[in-house]
Amino acid sequence: MIALSAVPLAAGALRLAQLGGVTQVVPADRRFADAPAPLVLHIVGAAVYAVVGALQLVPGPRRRHPAWHRRAGRVVTGVGVLVAGSALWMTLLYAAKPGTGALLYVLRLAFGSAMVACLVLGITAIRRGDVPHHRAWMIRAYAIALAAGTQMFTEGIGGALFGTGGVKGDLAKAAGWVINLAVAEWVIRRSAPAPTARRGRRPSVAATGLSS
C-alpha cells in the first residue's frame, strides 16, 4: 500500500522543494506560488496518512498493540480529514489544471467529501463498539486517499489506448478511484467474519408433526 503512494509522494516532495526554492526539478506553477498553504498541508498530510494509515490496517500490530492502534487512529483520522479537506480546498481555490474538465472538478468534490464521510462513519462505528464496520469505513477512506497512486497507471494506460485531455483524462482519473474502491470492497468482504448459525432455529415441519 505504501509503495502505491510512493510516486505521488515523491512528486509532492519535489513540489515542496520547488516551492521552498531548493530545486527546480519540477516547473513552477503560479497557482501554487500564490497560495501554497493548502498544497503544503495536503502533501505533508498525505505522507503521514499513507504510512501510518497502512500500519493501522495491518492485523499483527493492531492486535499486539491495541493502545498504540487507538492513539495512532486518532492521528490518522485527523490527518485524513486534513488530506480530504485540503483537497477540497484546492479544488475550490485553484484554477483548473489545463487539460482537465468539469467532470474531474465534480469528481474531486465528490470523492473528497466521501473520504470525510467514511472517516466520520468509521469513528462513529468504533464509538459504539462496531469493529467490523469501523474497519470497513477506514479501508474505504484509505482507498480513496491512495487513488493518486492508481491514477498514475490508469492515466498512462488510458492515455495510450484512448488519448489524453478533456473527458478522456477525467475518466482515467475516475478509474483510479473506482478501482481502489472495488479492491477495498473485495478486501472488506474477504476478511469479514463468517456468519454464525442463529440460535433458536425454527423447527422443521416434520419435527412439529404438522405434515399430516
Domain contains 204:
no
Within 8 A by CB and 6+ apart from 57, the residues are 1, 135, 138, 139, 142
Residue 201 — φ and ψ, nearest 5°? Answer: -60, 145
Domain contains 15:
yes
Q: What is the pLDDT of residues 133-189, one digit of tens each?
A: 999 999 999 999 999 999 999 999 998 998 887 899 999 999 999 999 999 999 999
CB 184 within 8 A of CB 138: no
The H or E element that residue 202 is part of is: none
CB 76 within 8 A of CB 122: no
Alpha helices in the chain (DSSP H): 6-19, 30-34, 37-56, 59-64, 66-93, 102-127, 131-145, 147-162, 166-190, 205-208
Domain contains 210:
no
Range scoring the smallest mean pLDDT among 8-17, 49-58, 60-69: 60-69
Q: What percent of the chain has a predicted confidence (pLDDT) above 70?
A: 90
Domain contains 198:
no
Domain contains 211:
no
Domain contains 34:
yes
Domain that holds residue 139: 3-193
Q: How many domains, the chain?
A: 1
Angle subtended at Cα 6 by Cα 32 and Cα 153, rounded to the nearest 5 degrees: 90
End-to-end Cα separation, the chain, in angstroms? 62
pTM: 0.84
Return the closest-CA partner of residue 142 out of 24, 56, 13, 17.
56
Q: What is the pLDDT of residues 90-128, one digit of tens each?
A: 999 998 888 888 999 999 999 999 999 999 999 999 999
Region of 166 (left: φ > 0; alpha: ψ -120 to 50; beta: rest) is left
Most confident of 59-68, 188-197, 201-210: 59-68
Domain contains 89:
yes
Angle subtended at Cα 31 by Cα 30 and Cα 33, rounded to the nearest 5 degrees: 60
pLDDT of residue 196: 52
C-alpha grid cell, residue 115: 473520504
Domain contains 128:
yes
